[in-house]
Amino acid sequence: MNVSALLEPINQFLQCPTPQGWIDEAVKPENLSTLLVDHANCELKAAQTAMLLLRRYAVDKQSGEALLAWLKPFEDFVYRKVGSGDFSQHIGLSKKLISRSEFAQSDQLINKMVLLIKEELHHFQQCWEIMQGRGIEYANLTASRYARGMMKHVRTHEPAKLIDTLICGAYIEARSCERFAMLAPHLDDELEQFYISLLRSEARHFQDYLALAQQVSDADITDRVRFYGEREALLISAPDQELRFHSGPLAATVVPAA
CATH code, domain with 168:
1.20.1260.10
> What is the tens place of the pLDDT at every residue in 64-98?
999 999 999 999 999 999 988 888 777 677 678 99
Domain that holds residue 87: 3-92+102-252
Q: State the sign of the Cα–Cα–Cα–Cα dihedral 142, 124, 22, 238.
A: negative
* Alpha carbons 4 and 19: distance in angstroms, whole number: 19
Residue 105 has pLDDT above 70, yes or no: yes
Residue 68 lies in a domain: yes
Residue 257 lies in a domain: no
- Cis before 17? omega within 30: no
Q: What percent of the chain has pLDDT over 90?
A: 83
Query: What residues does 99 pair with on adjacent strands?
Result: 59
* Residue 212 · residue 203 · CB < 8 Å: no
Q: What percent of the chain has pLDDT over 70?
A: 96
Q: Give the chain's domain count.
A: 1
* Alpha carbons 189 and 152: distance in angstroms, whole number: 38
Residue 138's closest CA among 49, 44, 24? 44
